[in-house]
Amino acid sequence: ENAEAALVTASGMAAISTTILALLSTGDHFLAQDCLYGGTHDFFTRDLPALGITFDFVDGNEPRSWKGFLKPHTKLFFVETITNPLLEVADLEAVVSFCKTHNLISVIDNTFASPVNFRPPEWGFDLSIHSGTKYLNGHSDIVAGAVIGKGDLVEKITKKLNHLGGSLDPHACFLLDRGLKTLAVRMRYQNRSAMEIARFLDKYPAVEKVYYPGLDSHPNHERATRLLEGFGAMVSFELKGGSTEADLFMQKLEIPFVAPSLGGVESLITRPSKTSHAGMSPEERGKLGISEGLIRLSVGLEATQDLIDDIKQALGGI
């Protein structure tokens, strides 16, 4: 990502939690984008209050509202490049500008985009975080994380990581290095495949809504086109009829595995309300627009037409 320094961790959540705990302490406050990965949301809402670290969720699309959430001890702003699971793309340029103006540390979870599609340090972000479990590794056989960015910040996070023990074991490091060798090839194919699948779903009568920043209909499409070199391999969508139809559809699929996680060579499909965001209450999910019937597809390396044909036959059976 063309940053000064980087380190690997034992998981994506080790990267996120260690970064926050290294940079913030009791009495500090930070801002966070309102739609985040469920594990990040749980860490912020359930663990940090007991440590005396406070935060406010803000709308990533409304920069004019952010100043109203600032406090004397606000130190950091946390966002995602492409949000999980609704695939929003916040006003990332405004985030960087806002942080520079108000002397905040800018932190971005770049997992969904990968360095192939977006390199946060090139846009002025202080720190970029990854779940290395996903695209960086790409083979669904390790759990890992990474923190990338300014040298002084990475050094500070490394010291905290050493104390907390979230270090990546040598064999996982070897496998992660192996995965990185094919990252660009994998990601570019998955970008193209996801785009074709999103276009197919967008025209299919049984599909209520498709969330993919590469579609003209996506509310952040123009921004995503300006910021990203590819729109990623995640496609979320809702079927007419809700969660019952969603479950029937997933049961009828033959190629994608019904399982959490993402970013591997095999396609995976899941309902976030039952997996990645199960820790949130139905009210919290509803407030963010995560319906019970929302389906999240991680597009793998299978032949694109095979995936489309499989999706078509599964949709035809409900």
Looking at per-residue confidence, does 12 or 289 come out higher?
Answer: 12
pLDDT in tens, 50-83: 999 999 999 999 999 999 999 999 999 999 999 9
DSSP 136-188: TT-SSS---EEEEE-HHHHHHHHHHHHHHT-PPPHHHHHHHHHHHTTHHHHHH
Q: How far apart are the first and last CA of the chain?
A: 44
Q: Is the whole model's pTM more than 0.75, yes or no?
A: yes
What is the average pLDDT across 255-281? 90
pLDDT in tens, 163-216: 999 999 999 999 999 999 999 999 999 999 999 999 999 999 999 999 999 999
Distance CA 114, CA 136 (A): 7
For the chain, the average pLDDT equals 96
pLDDT given at position 283:
83
CA 102 to chain CA mean position, Å? 25
What is the average pLDDT across 243-256? 95
Structural domains of the chain sorted by starting position, each given as residue range(s) with its CATH number in brackets:
5-180 (3.40.640.10), 183-316 (3.90.1150.10)
Q: Are strands 105-109 and 127-131 parallel, antiparallel or unpaired?
A: parallel
Q: Which residues of 194-224 are buried (b: 16+ CB within 10 A; e: fewer)?
A: bbebbbbbbebeebeebbbbbbeebebbebb
pLDDT in tens, 254-264: 999 999 899 99
pLDDT in tens, 156-178: 999 999 999 999 999 999 999 99
C-beta of residue 7 within 8 angstroms of C-beta of residue 154 = yes
DSSP the chain: ---SEEEEESSHHHHHHHHHHHH--TT-EEEEESS--HHHHHIIIIITGGGT-EEEEE-TT-HHHHGGG--TTEEEEEEESS-TTT-----HHHHHHHHHHTT-EEEEE-TTTHHHH--GGGGT-SEEEEETTTTTT-SSS---EEEEE-HHHHHHHHHHHHHHT-PPPHHHHHHHHHHHTTHHHHHHHHHHHHHHHHHHHHH-TTEEEEE-TTSTTSTTHHHHHHH-SS--SEEEEEETT-HHHHHHHHHH-SSSEE-S---SSS-EEE-GGGTTTTTS-HHHHHHHT--TT-EEEE--SS-HHHHHHHHHHHHHT-
Distance CA 232, CA 117 (A): 7
